[in-house]
Protein backbone atom coordinates (compact mmCIF):
# COMPACT_ATOMS: atom_id res chain seq x y z
CA UNK A 1 0.00 0.00 0.00
CA UNK A 2 1.31 3.36 -1.00
CA UNK A 3 0.97 5.66 2.00
CA UNK A 4 0.07 8.64 -0.18
CA UNK A 5 -3.16 6.88 -1.09
CA UNK A 6 -6.31 7.20 1.00
CA UNK A 7 -7.98 4.29 -0.75
CA UNK A 8 -6.74 1.45 -2.87
CA UNK A 9 -9.38 -0.57 -4.68
CA UNK A 10 -8.47 -3.88 -6.27
CA UNK A 11 -10.69 -6.19 -8.29
CA UNK A 12 -13.86 -4.87 -6.74
CA UNK A 13 -17.21 -6.14 -7.96
CA UNK A 14 -20.61 -5.10 -6.68
CA UNK A 15 -23.96 -6.76 -7.28
CA UNK A 16 -27.44 -5.54 -6.46
CA UNK A 17 -29.14 -8.94 -6.39
CA UNK A 18 -28.34 -10.31 -9.83
CA UNK A 19 -27.48 -6.91 -11.32
CA UNK A 20 -23.75 -6.42 -11.78
CA UNK A 21 -23.39 -2.71 -10.91
CA UNK A 22 -19.61 -2.35 -10.59
CA UNK A 23 -17.25 -4.48 -12.62
CA UNK A 24 -13.67 -5.26 -11.67
CA UNK A 25 -12.69 -1.83 -10.38
CA UNK A 26 -9.00 -1.01 -9.83
CA UNK A 27 -8.41 2.45 -8.50
CA UNK A 28 -6.12 4.49 -6.25
CA UNK A 29 -7.47 7.58 -4.51
CA UNK A 30 -4.62 9.84 -3.38
CA UNK A 31 -4.71 11.73 -0.10
CA UNK A 32 -5.32 15.47 0.11
CA UNK A 33 -6.53 15.73 -3.41
CA UNK A 34 -9.91 16.19 -4.99
CA UNK A 35 -10.93 13.21 -7.07
CA UNK A 36 -13.91 13.72 -9.35
CA UNK A 37 -16.09 10.80 -10.44
CA UNK A 38 -17.81 11.48 -13.74
CA UNK A 39 -19.96 9.48 -16.11
CA UNK A 40 -23.53 9.24 -17.37
CA UNK A 41 -26.43 8.57 -15.01
CA UNK A 42 -26.68 5.04 -13.75
CA UNK A 43 -23.06 4.14 -14.46
CA UNK A 44 -22.34 3.42 -10.79
CA UNK A 45 -20.72 6.60 -9.45
CA UNK A 46 -22.93 6.81 -6.35
CA UNK A 47 -22.68 3.08 -5.84
CA UNK A 48 -18.89 3.29 -5.87
CA UNK A 49 -18.86 6.28 -3.54
CA UNK A 50 -21.18 4.59 -1.07
CA UNK A 51 -19.05 1.48 -0.97
CA UNK A 52 -16.18 3.55 0.44
CA UNK A 53 -18.04 4.21 3.70
CA UNK A 54 -20.10 1.05 3.50
CA UNK A 55 -23.41 2.82 3.11
CA UNK A 56 -24.30 0.01 0.73
CA UNK A 57 -24.51 -2.27 3.76
CA UNK A 58 -27.96 -0.74 4.25
CA UNK A 59 -29.15 -1.92 0.85
CA UNK A 60 -30.69 -5.35 0.95
CA UNK A 61 -29.27 -7.75 -1.60
CA UNK A 62 -26.12 -5.72 -2.17
CA UNK A 63 -22.99 -7.88 -2.40
CA UNK A 64 -19.41 -6.70 -2.69
CA UNK A 65 -16.27 -8.69 -3.37
CA UNK A 66 -12.73 -7.73 -4.09
CA UNK A 67 -10.52 -5.56 -1.96
CA UNK A 68 -11.00 -2.00 -0.72
CA UNK A 69 -8.27 -0.74 1.58
CA UNK A 70 -8.10 2.45 3.53
CA UNK A 71 -4.60 3.10 4.87
CA UNK A 72 -3.86 -0.52 4.17
CA UNK A 73 -6.80 -1.82 6.16
CA UNK A 74 -9.49 -3.89 4.47
CA UNK A 75 -12.64 -1.88 5.15
CA UNK A 76 -14.82 -4.92 4.51
CA UNK A 77 -12.83 -6.96 6.99
CA UNK A 78 -13.20 -7.05 10.75
CA UNK A 79 -13.53 -3.32 11.37
CA UNK A 80 -15.96 -1.11 13.25
CA UNK A 81 -18.30 0.22 10.56
CA UNK A 82 -19.32 3.20 12.68
CA UNK A 83 -15.69 4.13 13.14
CA UNK A 84 -15.13 3.82 9.39
CA UNK A 85 -18.04 6.19 8.76
CA UNK A 86 -16.60 8.62 11.25
CA UNK A 87 -13.33 8.59 9.30
CA UNK A 88 -15.10 8.78 5.95
CA UNK A 89 -17.75 11.49 6.08
CA UNK A 90 -20.46 11.96 3.49
CA UNK A 91 -22.38 14.83 1.95
CA UNK A 92 -25.49 13.81 0.07
CA UNK A 93 -27.06 14.99 -3.15
CA UNK A 94 -30.06 16.50 -1.45
CA UNK A 95 -29.17 18.61 1.61
CA UNK A 96 -30.39 16.57 4.57
CA UNK A 97 -29.97 18.54 7.79
CA UNK A 98 -31.75 16.86 10.69
CA UNK A 99 -34.94 18.54 11.88
CA UNK A 100 -33.21 20.07 14.89
CA UNK A 101 -31.26 23.20 15.67
CA UNK A 102 -28.24 24.28 13.65
CA UNK A 103 -26.04 23.70 16.69
CA UNK A 104 -27.42 20.23 17.35
CA UNK A 105 -26.91 19.28 13.73
CA UNK A 106 -23.22 20.10 13.84
CA UNK A 107 -22.78 18.66 17.33
CA UNK A 108 -24.42 15.38 16.32
CA UNK A 109 -21.23 13.75 15.07
CA UNK A 110 -18.98 14.73 18.00
CA UNK A 111 -21.68 13.79 20.51
CA UNK A 112 -22.01 10.43 18.77
CA UNK A 113 -18.32 9.91 19.21
CA UNK A 114 -18.29 10.81 22.87
CA UNK A 115 -17.53 14.55 23.09
CA UNK A 116 -19.61 15.73 26.04
CA UNK A 117 -17.61 18.66 27.34
CA UNK A 118 -19.65 21.78 26.53
CA UNK A 119 -16.79 24.26 25.82
CA UNK A 120 -15.05 21.69 23.67
CA UNK A 121 -18.29 21.03 21.79
CA UNK A 122 -18.90 24.77 21.32
CA UNK A 123 -15.42 25.23 19.92
CA UNK A 124 -15.78 22.30 17.56
CA UNK A 125 -19.14 23.54 16.30
CA UNK A 126 -17.78 27.01 15.70
CA UNK A 127 -14.67 25.73 13.92
CA UNK A 128 -16.68 23.41 11.70
CA UNK A 129 -19.13 26.13 10.75
CA UNK A 130 -16.24 28.48 9.98
CA UNK A 131 -14.45 25.85 7.91
CA UNK A 132 -17.67 25.29 5.98
CA UNK A 133 -17.88 29.06 5.34
CA UNK A 134 -21.30 29.44 6.91
CA UNK A 135 -20.44 30.72 10.40
CA UNK A 136 -21.18 34.39 9.68
CA UNK A 137 -24.61 33.53 8.35
CA UNK A 138 -25.70 31.38 11.27
CA UNK A 139 -23.76 32.53 14.33
CA UNK A 140 -26.75 34.48 15.67
CA UNK A 141 -29.24 31.69 15.15
CA UNK A 142 -27.48 28.55 16.30
CA UNK A 143 -30.48 27.51 18.38
CA UNK A 144 -32.88 27.93 15.46
CA UNK A 145 -34.03 25.05 13.33
CA UNK A 146 -31.72 24.07 10.49
CA UNK A 147 -34.73 23.65 8.21
CA UNK A 148 -35.14 27.43 8.07
CA UNK A 149 -31.93 27.79 6.05
CA UNK A 150 -31.80 28.10 2.26
CA UNK A 151 -30.81 25.08 0.18
CA UNK A 152 -27.27 26.31 -0.30
CA UNK A 153 -26.88 27.10 3.39
CA UNK A 154 -28.31 23.70 4.29
CA UNK A 155 -25.72 22.00 2.12
CA UNK A 156 -22.88 23.96 3.72
CA UNK A 157 -24.35 23.08 7.10
CA UNK A 158 -24.24 19.43 6.08
CA UNK A 159 -20.59 19.90 5.16
CA UNK A 160 -19.98 21.50 8.57
CA UNK A 161 -21.78 18.57 10.17
CA UNK A 162 -19.53 16.17 8.32
CA UNK A 163 -16.41 18.15 9.28
CA UNK A 164 -17.37 18.19 12.95
CA UNK A 165 -17.06 14.41 13.09
CA UNK A 166 -13.38 15.02 12.24
CA UNK A 167 -13.14 12.74 9.22
CA UNK A 168 -10.13 12.07 7.04
CA UNK A 169 -12.07 11.66 3.82
CA UNK A 170 -15.19 13.47 2.64
CA UNK A 171 -17.44 11.87 0.04
CA UNK A 172 -19.70 14.23 -1.86
CA UNK A 173 -22.43 12.85 -4.10
CA UNK A 174 -23.43 15.58 -6.55
CA UNK A 175 -23.49 18.10 -3.69
CA UNK A 176 -24.43 21.02 -5.91
CA UNK A 177 -26.97 19.44 -8.23
CA UNK A 178 -29.87 20.81 -6.19
CA UNK A 179 -28.35 24.29 -5.76
CA UNK A 180 -28.32 27.61 -7.61
CA UNK A 181 -25.11 28.84 -9.34
CA UNK A 182 -24.04 31.10 -6.47
CA UNK A 183 -24.41 28.39 -3.83
CA UNK A 184 -22.65 26.05 -6.22
CA UNK A 185 -19.62 28.30 -6.48
CA UNK A 186 -19.60 28.65 -2.66
CA UNK A 187 -19.36 24.89 -2.32
CA UNK A 188 -16.70 24.62 -5.02
CA UNK A 189 -14.50 27.20 -3.30
CA UNK A 190 -15.08 25.39 -0.06
CA UNK A 191 -13.95 22.07 -1.54
CA UNK A 192 -10.74 23.73 -2.76
CA UNK A 193 -9.92 25.11 0.69
CA UNK A 194 -10.74 21.81 2.39
CA UNK A 195 -8.40 19.63 0.37
CA UNK A 196 -5.37 20.69 2.40
CA UNK A 197 -6.81 18.88 5.38
CA UNK A 198 -9.05 16.27 3.81
CA UNK A 199 -9.21 13.84 0.96
CA UNK A 200 -12.23 14.71 -1.13
CA UNK A 201 -14.06 12.47 -3.56
CA UNK A 202 -16.82 14.20 -5.44
CA UNK A 203 -19.38 12.82 -7.86
CA UNK A 204 -20.44 15.38 -10.40
CA UNK A 205 -22.55 15.62 -13.51
CA UNK A 206 -20.98 18.89 -14.41
CA UNK A 207 -17.86 18.66 -16.61
CA UNK A 208 -16.84 22.24 -15.88
CA UNK A 209 -17.07 21.57 -12.19
CA UNK A 210 -14.83 18.53 -12.48
CA UNK A 211 -12.35 20.49 -14.56
CA UNK A 212 -12.43 23.49 -12.20
CA UNK A 213 -11.89 21.84 -8.87
CA UNK A 214 -10.50 18.33 -9.20
CA UNK A 215 -6.93 17.12 -9.31
CA UNK A 216 -7.85 13.72 -10.62
CA UNK A 217 -10.80 12.46 -12.61
CA UNK A 218 -12.27 9.00 -12.93
CA UNK A 219 -14.59 8.24 -15.80
CA UNK A 220 -17.19 5.54 -15.21
CA UNK A 221 -19.31 3.89 -17.87
CA UNK A 222 -21.80 1.06 -17.34
CA UNK A 223 -20.21 0.00 -14.09
CA UNK A 224 -16.63 0.07 -15.34
CA UNK A 225 -13.80 2.52 -14.88
CA UNK A 226 -12.91 3.46 -18.43
CA UNK A 227 -10.15 5.90 -17.61
CA UNK A 228 -8.64 7.65 -14.64
CA UNK A 229 -5.81 10.13 -14.25
CA UNK A 230 -4.82 13.75 -13.81
CA UNK A 231 -7.80 15.96 -14.55
CA UNK A 232 -5.71 18.04 -16.96
CA UNK A 233 -4.75 15.01 -18.94
CA UNK A 234 -8.27 13.55 -18.98
CA UNK A 235 -9.77 16.77 -20.26
CA UNK A 236 -7.00 17.71 -22.71
CA UNK A 237 -5.95 14.36 -24.10
CA UNK A 238 -8.18 11.48 -23.06
CA UNK A 239 -6.78 8.11 -24.01
CA UNK A 240 -10.07 6.40 -24.59
CA UNK A 241 -12.47 7.38 -27.34
CA UNK A 242 -15.45 6.96 -25.02
CA UNK A 243 -13.99 9.38 -22.48
CA UNK A 244 -13.49 11.94 -25.20
CA UNK A 245 -17.05 11.47 -26.45
CA UNK A 246 -18.43 11.92 -22.97
CA UNK A 247 -16.47 15.03 -21.96
CA UNK A 248 -17.14 16.71 -25.27
CA UNK A 249 -20.83 16.14 -24.67
CA UNK A 250 -21.47 13.60 -27.40
CA UNK A 251 -23.45 11.48 -24.95
CA UNK A 252 -24.48 11.49 -21.32
Partner 1 sequence: MKTLCRYTRRMSAFLRRHYVGSRLMNFAVHAAAAVTVLVLGFLVAYIVVRGVPNLKPSLFALQYTSDNQSMLPAIINTCTMTFISLLLAVPFGVGAAIDLTEYARRGSRLTRLVQMTTQTLSGIPSIVYGLFGMLMFNNALQLGYSMLSGALTLAIMILPLIMRTTQEALSAVPDMYREGSFGLGAGKLRTVFFVVLPSAMPGILSGVILAIGRIVGETAALMYTSGTVAKVAGLMDSGTMLALHMYKQASEGLYLNEAYATSVVLLVLVLLINLLSAKTAKLMMKGRG
- Interacting residues toward Mg ion by CB under 5 A: 46
Residue 43 found at the interface with ligand ADP (CB under 6 A): yes
SS3 string, the chain, reads: CCCCEEEEEEEEEEEECCEEEEEEEEEEEECCCEEEEECCCCCCHHHHHHHHCCHHHHCCCEEEEEEEEECCEECCCCCCHHHHHHHEEEECCCCCCCCCEHHHHHHHHHHHCCCCCHHHHHHHHHHHHHHCCCHHHHCCCCCCEHHHCCHHHHHHHHHHHHHHCCCCEEEEECCCCCCCHHHHHHHHHHHHHHCCCCEEEEECCCHHHHHHHCCEEEEEECCEEEEEEEHHHHHHCCCCHHHHHHHCCCCC
Binding partner at 156 among Mg ion, ligand ADP, partner 1, none, C-beta below 5 to 8 Å by kind: none
Q: From the list ligand ADP, partner 1, Mg ion, none, which binds 9 (C-beta under 5 to 8 Å, kind-based)?
A: none
55 binds partner 1 (CB under 8 A): yes
94 in contact with partner 1 (CB under 8 A):
yes
Query: Rule CB under 6 A: is residue 52 a binding residue for ligand ADP?
Result: no
10 binds, among Mg ion, ligand ADP, partner 1, none (CB under 5 to 8 A by kind): none
Site for ligand ADP in 6-25 (CB under 6 A): 16, 19, 21
27 binds partner 1 (CB under 8 A): no
Given the rule CB under 6 A, which residues bind ligand ADP?
Answer: 16, 19, 21, 39, 41-47, 59
Amino acid sequence: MNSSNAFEVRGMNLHYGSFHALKNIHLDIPKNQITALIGPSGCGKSTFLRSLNRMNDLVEGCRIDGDIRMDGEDIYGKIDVNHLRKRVGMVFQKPNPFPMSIYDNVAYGPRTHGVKNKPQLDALVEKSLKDAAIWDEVKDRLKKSALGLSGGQQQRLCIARALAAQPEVILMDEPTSALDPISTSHIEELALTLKDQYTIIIVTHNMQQAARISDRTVFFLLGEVIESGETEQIFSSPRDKRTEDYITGRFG
